[in-house]
A and B are shown apart, each in its own frame.
Chain A
Amino acid sequence: MFASCADPKSIEGLTWAMCYLTSGKHLDFYWSFLTVLLLLALTAPAALAMGFAGATAARSRLLPVSLLGKGYAAIVRGVPDIVFFLFFVIALDQGLEYLKSLAVCENPVWPWQGLEFRVCPEAKIPLGKSSAFWHQAYGFALAVFTFALVFGAFAANVLYGAMNAVPRAQLETAEAYGMSHGQVFRRILVPQMWVYALPGLSNLWMILIKATPLLFLLGVKDIVYWARELGGSKTQAYEYPHPDWRLWYFLGLLVFYLLFTKVSEIVLARISARLNHGQATAGGEALRKAAA
């Protein structure tokens, strides 16, 4: 990055530290913080959508749909996320390519030959000749989907509970006004449930933040991967040899996660105060008293 860094082994002290901390690998490390934040920003709404779909399905009056919704939440929640990540992404990738092969290959064959998975080159996602960026983007999208699927199951559970927590009387009143089933759902149930869902969703957000170290299992190089890689002891084969510094890198990550948690807590407390405003709950009552 700097001209003085051209020969790292001849410099020392502060200059060495400067050069070391701005090496290409460290820049990748800094970028990975953004990767993690981007993943969180994409996963949270996706998981919420999955959860909403799951909760709505679980409430359905059609038995198969309701079983599907409940089964999704129960099964995915029963499995440790790490176990899920270890085989699900490969399965998902193969499944997508199989579906694509049915559409684009000239004479699609069953692709699973023993342990090997083989589809025609046109069915690869992304195509073999695509640039590295697309491979990376595809891997990232798979990671987002997998995270959303796992956390969507938890969100479904929270939202299902929240929908049941909306006072029955409010729904009955709406029905008495002649609203249809769908209208009650859209106009009363969904707007009212958020206040009950928020504490659970906040917790889920906290868990999601803390699940990001598992990202490297999904092929996305996250901050923990880079901290481990950078901190490990380096021999003279590297430009910046150093002993085992993992402890310092991990302490840095600890501070990052604690700060992130703190900021999240503050923001979520504000949202909670806003949602509680004017609600007929203990929280709403407390707000009324504080204002008076």
Chain B
Amino acid sequence: MKNLLLATALIAVSGAAFAQDVVRLGTEGAYPPFNFINDAGEVAGFEREVGDELCKRASLTCEWVTNEWDSIIPNLQSGNYDVIIAGMSITDERDEVIDFSQNYFPPASSAYVAMAADADLKGVVAAQVSTIQAGYVAESGATVLEFATPDESVAAVRNGEAVAVFADKDFLVPIVAESNGELMFVGEEVQLGGGVGLGLRESDTELKDKFNAAIQSMKDDGSLNALIEKHFGAEAAKF
């Protein structure tokens, strides 16, 4: 049981006023390399390191929680955790109901991956259900085939169910690299969303300011770029 909830209490160095308030960070845990459950059963990945560092800089005690992607925003609204840190792209429709911090990951490219270079991108394209990519594919005129998890959408290309999968490029890069030439990028890359930011309740302006300041300080001293390079490789877009 204790491992199901992945808790890390970072010791707050200063700021006795908020030291006792635990900030709960909600993530999905199924979107490597952004966030995933590692083999020890703990939240790991890029966002784990960014989140821990941000909490340290903002002198907050943080705790990690995992939640289904589908209900990740309602559970934030309901107060089950205070921050969403789950590779969530900043979009207008999301911005209407929650607040975003400044981005800690540059606007991501989305890309198509297929088994053949001449794949018909107006054919059947797989995507994860209720992502900005699924919406994009539907609008592009292709036939969208929606899967519950990003994993299954890639599996659909492998077994010929779909001709291509459309997803975050950073998610696809390691998969393509390790497929022994079976999978490849095709077509143009597409820029969707305004980068990845932390999701917060609209009323939590104080918390948002703290995180914004922490993100800015990580951007300024280059530590954020170092983490991006560590997890996404040297070619990834940086600040």
Contact = CB atoms under 8 A, between A and B. Distances in A.
Contacts of B1: 31, 35, 133, 136
B74 A237 contact: no
A25 B68 contact: no
Contacts of A25: 37-41
B127 interface: no
B113 to A, nearest CB: 13
Given A24-B39, A115-B97, A235-B174, A132 B32 contact: no
Contacts of A86: 71
Contact of A135 (B5, B71, B178): B5
A185 interface: no
Contacts, number: 115
Interface stretch (B76-84, B133-141, B161-169, B189-197): B76-84
Given A28-B3, A90-B71, A23 B39 contact: yes
B5 A113 contact: no
Interface of A: 8, 23-25, 27-28, 31-32, 35, 86, 90, 93-94, 97, 113-119, 121, 124, 128-129, 131-133, 135-136, 216-217, 219, 221, 228-229, 232-233, 235-241, 244
Contacts of A221: 4, 66
23 contacts: A25-B40, A31-B3, A31-B4, A32-B4, A35-B1, A35-B4, A93-B78, A93-B80, A94-B78, A116-B203, A117-B77, A128-B21, A129-B20, A129-B22, A131-B7, A135-B65, A221-B66, A233-B151, A233-B175, A235-B178, A236-B178, A237-B36, A238-B39
B202 interface: yes
Which residue, of A32, A217, A219, A244, has the highest number of chain B Cβ atoms within 10 A? A219
